[in-house]
Amino acid sequence: MTNFPHSLLDGYRSFKGLSYGRDRDRYRELAEHGQSPEAMVIACCDSRSAPETVFSAAPGEIFVVRNVANLVPPYEPTGGYHGTSAALEFAVQGLKVRHIVVLGHGRCGGIRAALHPAEEPLSPGDFIGKWITLLGPAVSEAATGSPMTDAERQTALERASIRNSIANLRTFPFVSILESRNRLALHGAWFDIAGGELWTMDPDTGEFSRVE
């Protein structure tokens, strides 16, 4: 008897009977010819904000990489393991995507960890604590200005982190070169879980406005 989660098995059976049955030809075409998505989405691991759900994406339509707090590290080709950078390299250089979207969301646990660094690490390795040091510039941005409530500061940092990730994207030569040639566009978006609202970032001002 398998101890695989029954909820996941039930979900698979539903997928196989409904979604796969409906899109069987599309899956076979993708298997035979490969993927050619137009957009890459860099999103958070949070189970409440799946990009495929938010954008009603069909199989093969978007290339997704997810990590804690939807962060993009700066270009750093020496040392370490760079999962997000590797996915970015493949999407841009291999799949030739035309758009990269950094998708943040409300009530992000990674952002909360950045705002409350004194809280006890979840493990001795403190992988989350080290990862969110990438938010350093964004934390400073959110801390400036008029006094804010905790909720307002959280939202401010969630959006500042999106701007920070887009700035880091431009440190990758293969991104900045293609953007300068109008062959690649960078976008920021923020999803409000509670209201189901999507906000997109103005590329010139960095301000977010709600999609009607």
Task: Tell me how far apart the alpha carbons of residues 171 and 186 are, in angstroms, rounded to a whole number.
Answer: 13
**Taking residues 63-67, what's their average pLDDT?**
98
pLDDT band at 101 (very low <50, low <70, confident <90, very high): very high
pLDDT at 78: 87
Kindly list the distances between the CA atom of residue 141 and the CA atoms of 37, 69, 146, 148, in Å, as whole numbers in the listed order: 33, 16, 12, 13
pLDDT at 1: 53
Is pLDDT at 40 greater than 90 in this prediction? yes
**Taking residues 20-29, what's their average pLDDT?**
95
Cβ(178)–Cβ(156) below 8 Å: no
Q: What proportion of the chain, given as a percentage, has pLDDT over 90?
A: 77
Task: Tell me how far apart the alpha carbons of residues 46 and 71 are, in angstroms, rounded to a whole number.
Answer: 13
pLDDT at 138: 80
Predicted structure pTM score: 0.92
pLDDT band at 81 (very low <50, low <70, confident <90, very high): confident
Name the residue type at position 165: S
pLDDT at 41: 98
pLDDT at 146: 55
pLDDT at 191: 98
Classify residue 20 as exposed, middle or buried by CB count within 10 Å of its CB (0-12, 13-18, 19+).
middle
pLDDT band at 137 (very low <50, low <70, confident <90, very high): confident
Mean pLDDT, all residues of the chain: 92
pLDDT at 114: 87
pLDDT at 37: 98
pLDDT band at 123 (very low <50, low <70, confident <90, very high): confident
Is pLDDT at 82 greater than 90 in this prediction? yes
Reported residue count of the chain is 212
Lowest mean pLDDT among 58-72, 75-89, 97-111: 75-89
Number of C-beta neighbours around residue 204 at 10 A: 6
**Taking residues 42-60, what's their average pLDDT?**
97
Level-2 CATH architecture, domain 35-210: 3-Layer(aba) Sandwich (3.40)
Residues of the chain with CATH 3.40.1050.10: 35-210
Torsion angle, CA of 174/180/181/185, rounded to 10 degrees?
Answer: 80
